[in-house]
Amino acid sequence: MKNQYDAYLFDLDGTLVDSAPDIGAALNHSLQQASLPVVSLDLVRHWIGHGSRTLVHQALLHQQMQPKDQLIDKLLRPFLSYYGEHIADHSQLYPNTMATLLELKQRGARLAIVTNKLTELSVPLLTALDLEANFDLIVCGDTTHNPKPAPDPIQHVLDFFKVAPEQALMIGDSDADIGAARAAHIDVVCMRDGYNHGVDVATLNPDKVIDSIKELL
């Protein structure tokens, strides 16, 4: 790893923002609408990271139900509607997030969001938390044909910024972030306490595991 990069690519949920409380509230709202039992916040934290559809899929598996597309769609509609209306009721930036982003910008780095969250949810969340203006590019789960762990979203950023892979760093919290970074041939750092399906992210061999975003400085 290098001490400094030209481009920093950040995951959103579990990396910059603790969004699990609002995601969990929306998921439980959709489950209740379908007369299904609610789930705990700890479980929700384990399921975040691969997009809304996978989140609902995991919730149905937990209910020991067959996650057929029709049932997923039935739950997904109220989930997206409720979450969109309560996007940042309880979501918070992790400590030192804003100061670190501002310092990286002052050093001349280009910053991008690379998330599997849909654009219709990502942009309002970034706006609500005053984060959007810090980023030169926002790549969401529906921006490219294949989301993380495919390399497509990262390659989109590299092409847009016109930077070589060795000049870019991915900062995330999950197997999807590591997989995408490896496939795009860029270095990857992971937050220790993010959302990674209950698996210790260090066992997935990122280039570095950090406890705080300020360790990027």
Catalytic residues: 11
d(CA 53, CA 130): 26
d(CA 140, CA 51): 10
d(CA 207, CA 204): 10
Q: How many angstroms from the chain centroid is the CA of residue 83?
A: 15
Element (H, E) at 188: strand 187-191
d(CA 100, CA 93): 12
d(CA 10, CA 177): 9
Residue 180 burial class via C-beta count within 10 angstroms: exposed 0-12, middle 13-18, buried 19 and up: buried
